[in-house]
Amino acid sequence: MSDVERARKRAETLRREIEEPNYRYYVLDHPTISYAEFYFLLRELQGLEAEHPELVTPDSPTQRVGAAPLSEFGEVKHAVPMTSMDNAFDEAELREWDQRVRKGLGPDASVIYTAEPKYDGASVNLRYERGAL
């Protein structure tokens, strides 16, 4: 079996392994595997597809973000975009993210970080304007 054929079979397997946890996490809000486990599977698939672009399919989990939001959530336009750390799982990935932030902000920008525990699946953006929340 060729390397490309092995990669194709592994990519198919990974897509199947990702699909159910993806649905349970994004649609049912009831994850069955940890966030880290899910993203390690997704990263492996991303790696295979990067090495073999011919394996990318329109329905691949790498070609979409989760699932459609629940109907209970309305659409909100933020004055300042909400961003994330791009799933940094170790110090090296955190440092790479920091470098991208600094590059994006420009050489004279001052960067201060605040770190807090992440409660997966929810994001909150609160604003005070003229003393009112």
- Indicate the pTM of the whole model: 0.65
* 8: number of Cβ within 10 Å: 16
User: Which position has the higher pLDDT, 105 or 122?
Assistant: 105
3-26 and 35-51 are packed helices; what angle lies between their axes, rounded to 10 degrees?
A: 150
Mean pLDDT to the nearest integer, 98-111: 88
Of 9, 77, 103, 118, which residue is the catalytic one? 118
The per-residue pLDDT for 75 is 79
The per-residue pLDDT for 42 is 92
Known catalytic residue at 118: yes
